[in-house]
Amino acid sequence: MVAGWGKLTGIEGVQGFFGNIGIPLAGIMAWVVALVEFLGGIMVLIGYKVEVPGILLAFTMLVAIFTVKMGGDGGFSGMRLEIILMLASLAIAMMNTGSYSLDNILDKPAES
């Protein structure tokens, strides 16, 4: 969520960066990534339909690994965080939400 907010408030820089590393449709993709990170982060935080943002966030991390991190000098150490975030996002998508989530609150039957 915080990374997405940073991208939303500095979208021109993100668009330029995406263009420099060769991401197609850099102007549009910068908005897509920023919104996925920000809105997806909020959805995960409140526990609402986490399967969708979990998969989208994992895909975002996979693209980051292949476009930015993989060719870096850090080797595996340079992409550890992105790998952890990708796996955590997939785990959230697969495990779904818990008893304190918005999904759980909305799914409870109305008491008579």
pTM of the model: 0.84
- Radius of gyration, CA atoms only, the chain: 16
Evaluate whether residue 108 is within a structural domain.
no
Q: Which residues of 64-77 are buried (b: 16+ CB within 10 A; e: fewer)?
A: bbeebbeeeeeeee
Evaluate whether residue 90 is within a structural domain.
yes
Evaluate whether residue 45 is within a structural domain.
yes
pLDDT in tens, 39-62: 999 999 999 999 999 999 999 999
Evaluate whether residue 34 is within a structural domain.
yes
DSSP notation for 66-107: IIIITTSTTGGGGGHHHHHHHHHHHHHHHH---TTSHHHHHH
When mean pLDDT is compared across 14-28, 59-73, 80-94, the lowest value belongs to 59-73
pLDDT band for position 110 (cuts 50, 70, 90): low
Number of domains within the chain: 1
Evaluate whether residue 80 is within a structural domain.
yes
Q: Is the pLDDT of residue 14 over 90?
A: yes
Evaluate whether residue 102 is within a structural domain.
no
Q: What pLDDT does residue 2 have?
A: 94
| CA 87 – CA 55 distance, rounded (Å) | 10
Q: What pLDDT does residue 53 have?
A: 95
Evaluate whether residue 105 is within a structural domain.
no
Residue showing tokens 């991390």? 61
Evaluate whether residue 103 is within a structural domain.
no
> Do residues 97 and 104 touch, judged by C-beta distance below 8 A?
yes
- Chain-centre distance of CA 26, in angstroms? 17
Six-digit token string for 9: 């408030």
Provide the domain limits for residue 38.
Answer: 2-97
